[in-house]
Amino acid sequence: MKINNSFKTIALKSVMATGLMALVSSAQAYEPARTAECIAPANPGGGWDFTCRSVGKALVDLSYIKGNVQTVNMSGAGGGVAFAHTVSKRSKDDGLIVAASTATTTRLAQGQFPGMNSDQVKWVGTLGADYGIIAVATDSKYQNLNQMMDDLRKDPNSVKFAGGSASGGWDHLKVLITAKEANVTKLPKIKYLSFNGGSEALVQVVGGHIDAFTGDISEVKGFLDSGDIRVVAVLSEERLPAPLNNIPTALEQGVSSVAPNWRGFYVPGDAGNDSYDWWVNTIDELYQTQEWKDIMAKNGLMPFHKTGAEFTQFVKNQTLDIRILSQDIGLIK
């Protein structure tokens, strides 16, 4: 691969410049070309695990990486254990990537990784997103988002939401972002019920016990197929690709709420610039390949691609937005 070669040359130059001691550590800068490690900060089976395994496999299949990409599951504190591990023990590791998503920025913004912030790692890029949705049971009185928001404006207690994240988590924030954009006041009064995962929350909505569901589009696919729920709005910039193109966006209903749950990576804060650039370029290229497009289609990932400086800025903005919103509603001080 062309990229590999140029990367190796740059790395070689830096080796010569920094002397013998650095030779040992910089020799490991070759690692991304041969083997790499991807930390999934959760148990097998979840979104981060999927990100690591699918990207790892694609990188090896397309020979960006000659050896293999090993996925290591490191659960704890909603990604906090892996973040702390990366910052404190692996800060110079060039062969390490860590899966991240909006859940990571949410927790960083709310100070749920004590003493840590988003500047301590380098943000590589995203490879797609799962867009937020607001849904109701098929027999609900709400046909569209505006009816729901009208009711919330009159009485913020009138619509109760169920979601799969903890209180203050991304699913909860999606409702608040949307309500805020729809000029609903008294945001803290909106009731949100937290469940262990989207499907548990959906059952309660389908069963008629709770008014509305907030989550990601991938979580409701089975329920859409069986006709149990109606999605009143998808929180994306444009309509999703077919067969989901009949779902209206919040934007076209006059509420400018966009909530992508992106899937991407960060690398350690002191990883070499060469290796960082290599990862950014590789993610850019991988995103364009047919293989990755197939993986996205198969797993319901929607287009969403930002890398390098653009992504770093995006993470900064998102973190700031979430912090302000969380302060507004009294989740954090």
Partner 1 sequence: METLSFLMQGFAVALTPESIMFAIIGAILGTLIGALPGLGPANGVAILIPLAFSLGLSPTSSLILLTSVYAGAMYGGRISSILLNIPGDEPAMMTCIDGYPMALKGKAAEALAISAIASFIGSFIATIGLVILAPILANFALKFGPSEYFALFALAFATLGGITGKNQFKTLMAAALGLMIASVGIDISSGVQRYTYNILELFEGVDFIIAIVGLFAISELLFFIEKHAGEGLKKVTVNKLKLTMGDIIAVLPTSFRGALLGFVSGVLPGAGASLGSFISYTLEKKVVGDKGTFGQGDARGIAAPEAGNNGAASGALVPMLTLGVPGSGTTAVLLAMLISLNVTPGPMLFTQNADLVWGVIAALFVGNLVLLLLNIPMIGIFVKLLSVPPKYLMPIVTLVASVGIYSVSHSALDLYFMVGFGVIGYILRKVDVPLVPVILGMLLGPEMEKSLRHALVLSDGDWGVLFNSGLSIGLWTVAIMGLLLPVIIGPIVRAKMAKSKTATE
* 3 state DSSP class of 312: helix
Q: Which residues of this protein are in contact with partner 1, per CB under 8 A?
A: 43-46, 72-78, 80-81, 84, 110, 112-114, 157, 160, 166-169, 191, 193-197, 199-200, 202-204, 206-210, 222, 226, 331
Least distance from partner 1 to the Cβ atom of residue 71, Å: 10
Long-range residue pairs from 11-15, CB within 8 A, at least 24 positions apart, any chain: 11/272, 11/274, 11/275, 14/272, 14/274
Residue 35 or residue 199: which is nearer to partner 1 going by CB? 199
Residues in the chain, how many? 333
Distance separating alpha carbons of residues 81 and 98, to the nearest angstrom: 12
Q: How far apart are CA 194 and CA 234, in angstroms?
A: 20
Among all chains, which residue has been given the structure tokens 């548990």? 200
Compare residues 2 and 298 and give the one whose CB is closer to partner 1: 298
DSSP 3-state helix, strand, coil percentages of the chain (rounded to 5)?
50, 20, 30
Contact predicate 164/250, CB 8 Å: no
The distance of closest approach from Cβ of residue 331 to partner 1 in the complex, given in angstroms and rounded to an integer, is 7
Query: What Rg value do the Cα atoms of the chain yield, rounded?
Result: 21
With respect to partner 1, which residue has the nearer C-beta, 9 or 157? 157
Question: Which residue, 172 or 306, is less far from partner 1 as judged by CB?
Answer: 172
Closer to partner 1 by Cβ: residue 140 or 312? 140
For partner 1, give the closer residue by CB, 34 or 221: 221
* Bond before 243 cis per omega within 30 degrees: yes
Q: Least CB distance from residue 298 to partner 1, whole Å?
A: 16
Report, in Å, the least distance between residue 304 CB and partner 1.
23
CB of 277 to partner 1, least distance (A): 29
The CB-based long-range contact list for 241-250 (8 Å cut-off, 24+ gap) reads: 241/302, 244/217, 247/133, 248/144, 248/145, 250/134, 250/145, 250/178, 250/181
DSSP letter (8 states) at residue 182 = T
Smallest gap from Cβ 160 to partner 1, in A, equals: 6
Please report how close the Cβ of residue 179 comes to partner 1 at its closest, in angstroms: 17
Instruction: Pick the closer one to partner 1 by CB: 2 or 141.
Output: 141
Provide the token pair at 227. 């006709």
